Chains A and B, each alone.
Chain A
Amino acid sequence: MNYTWNWHIFLEPNPTGAGTYFDMLLAGLKVTIVTSLTAWVIALICGTIVGILRTLPSKLAGWIGFAYVEFFRNMPLLVQLFLWFFVLPELLPRTIGLWLKQMPNAPFYTAAVGIGLFMSARVAVQLAAGIGSLPRGQKMAATALGLTTLQAYRYVLLPMAFRIILPPLTSEFLNTVKNSAVAITIGLIELTGAARAMQEFSFQVFEAFSAATLMYLVINIIVVIGMRLLERAVAIPGYITGK
């Protein structure tokens, strides 16, 4: 290999004039974390609503849930981001479209919403499966106690279902973090984007990507450990994972 390694590159000032190359990567890491968390909140909210829709007895609600999931699952995330970023402003009325295009941080908002909706379909599937895995008696007992459908979901079904699907939700959250890298295509300088920029400025390809790789690994480890603690804290007594 005639590649010249230079690990000191991280301490050298970056061409944007704001600190070292390492600061540049840290800024990217911050964008990755903020984007993933925002997207995850959107995914949880929309995914919960759609997941509930899929389990309601109403045929129409089930159909809406099915259509929503199929819509967001059958297109590559990259294409969805392009639709939100390039196509949506053109299809809206002129003034709103212009406002969207001129919004500061447009890539960030597009990425957060686009990735959030993309992931919400997956959350919905998991949640519907979680609710479906509960014994039928739970819903019946809730109804027998006089709870309305809303109350039954709020106090009985959802608290159980969310605890059951915590492990798959962990991996969906990690997928959200990984998917945030796709936003590099609409110009968001997140961690992968920062590593790419560092490579283009400094020509130290492998140092830049190694650092980014390491940071992704650290995020993964922290999330996995954190979620394991959470799982233990909220485990349902009597279930395999319970106390």
Chain B
Amino acid sequence: MLANFDFDVIRRSLSYLFIDGMTFTVTLTALAAAGGLFFGTMIALMRLSGYRVMGWIAGLYVDFMRSLPLVLVIFWFYFLVPYIGQWITGSSRPIKVGAFASSLITFILFEAAYFSEIMRAGIQSISRGQPAAASALGLTYAQTMRYVVLPQAFRNMLPVLLTQTIVLFQDTSLVYVLSIPDFLGAASKVAQRDGRLVEMYLFAALIYFTISCVASYFVRRLQARISIIR
């Protein structure tokens, strides 16, 4: 079983796997998490703003995104983004969008729905007295959010946000459906070129497993530290 296991194929492709593949995966994860968090917070604020129409639109967006499979959303944006780009820039034909830009836009918009639910829970966990005290001090709504509510909400929800980022890290492997060489895509390319599916997929699984395990261990430790302070 392991007798004809070819470890050399892994060693030979290490630089391609990590320098090309993992860089793509990590960059996509980091940027999508940052963008998703930003837009997610905006959506959460819209939902809690008290303006009916805005809350309704935000709620609809979140429910819509959360009821679709990520694979379908990836396909949607892959085909849609060139047309949106054409519409924005006003050019005469659909613009060319790179694989990275297309998947980044997809993940930001998709994750924003999930991050917004986390931020909404975080904002709702702040006691009513806090914004009341802030407005008694003369802070505007924007200042109340910026200096009082959001920092606390963000801090309370940090473990959940990070866990969602780990899920996002795993989900980025789905760009495989667009034949983009992320970490898994790179492993798969080598696997198919050299006919070494077993070695490459086991290795990819091991790497994903190790990174996610270590990351969730640190999240658990962080959670323990935060919950003591509160």
Contact indicator A83/B170 (Cβ below 8 Å): no
Main secondary structure of the interface of B (DSSP, over half): helix
Contact with B along A145-185 (1 / 0, CB 8 A): 00000000000000000000000000000100111111011
Main secondary structure of the interface of A (DSSP, over half): helix
B24 within 8 A of A: no
Residues of chain A from 29 to 87 with CB closer than 8 A to chain B in the complex: 70-71, 73-80, 82-83, 86-87
Contact indicator A86/B177 (Cβ below 8 Å): no
Contact indicator B68/A76 (Cβ below 8 Å): no
Which of these, B71, B93, B205, B213, contacts A79 with CB under 8 Å?
Answer: B205
Contact indicator B93/A2 (Cβ below 8 Å): yes
Chain B, Cβ-Cβ closest to A221 = B67
Residues of chain A from 1 to 48 with CB closer than 8 A to chain B in the complex: 1-3
Residues of A near B124 (CB, < 8 A) are: none
Contact indicator B67/A216 (Cβ below 8 Å): yes
Contact indicator B202/A74 (Cβ below 8 Å): no
B218 within 8 A of A: no
| Distance A70 CA – B177 CA, assembled complex (angstroms) | 26
B222 within 8 A of A: no
| Distance A26 CA – B16 CA, assembled complex (angstroms) | 41
| Distance A192 CA – B204 CA, assembled complex (angstroms) | 25
| Distance A182 CA – B172 CA, assembled complex (angstroms) | 12
| Distance A206 CA – B69 CA, assembled complex (angstroms) | 16
Contact indicator B76/A209 (Cβ below 8 Å): yes
Contact indicator A192/B209 (Cβ below 8 Å): no
Nearest-neighbour CB distance to chain A for B81, whole angstroms, equals: 12
Nearest-neighbour CB distance to chain B for A55, whole angstroms, equals: 19
Contact indicator A196/B75 (Cβ below 8 Å): yes
The range of chain B's interface size is 35 or more
Contact indicator A206/B173 (Cβ below 8 Å): no
Contact indicator A178/B93 (Cβ below 8 Å): no
Contact indicator B184/A179 (Cβ below 8 Å): no
User: Interface size of A by Cβ–Cβ distance < 8 Å?
Assistant: 40
Nearest-neighbour CB distance to chain B for A72, whole angstroms, equals: 10
Residues of A near B83 (CB, < 8 A) are: 1, 3
A202 within 8 A of B: no
Residues of B near A76 (CB, < 8 A) are: 170-171, 173-174, 184, 208
Contact indicator A1/B86 (Cβ below 8 Å): yes
Residues of B near A213 (CB, < 8 A) are: 68, 72, 76
B79 within 8 A of A: yes
Contact indicator B173/A78 (Cβ below 8 Å): yes
B176 within 8 A of A: yes
| Distance A74 CA – B166 CA, assembled complex (angstroms) | 9
B87 within 8 A of A: yes
Given known A74-B208, A78-B174, A209-B79, contact A217–B67 (CB-CB < 8 A): yes
Residues of A near B70 (CB, < 8 A) are: 178, 181
| Distance A76 CA – B184 CA, assembled complex (angstroms) | 10
Chain A, Cβ-Cβ closest to B169 = A76
Contact indicator A182/B174 (Cβ below 8 Å): yes
Residues of A near B76 (CB, < 8 A) are: 209, 213
Given A74-B212, A79-B184, A178-B68, 18 more A-B residue pairs with CB atoms under 8 Å apart are A1-B86, A71-B209, A73-B216, A74-B209, A75-B170, A75-B205, A76-B173, A79-B208, A82-B197, A178-B67, A178-B69, A181-B69, A184-B71, A185-B176, A199-B75, A206-B80, A213-B76, A216-B67
Interface residues of B (CB under 8 A from A): 1, 64, 67-72, 75-76, 79-80, 83, 86-87, 93-94, 170-171, 173-174, 176-177, 184, 188, 197-198, 201-202, 204-205, 208-209, 212-213, 216
Subset of 5 A-B contacts with CB under 8 Å: A182-B69, A185-B176, A199-B79, A209-B76, A217-B64
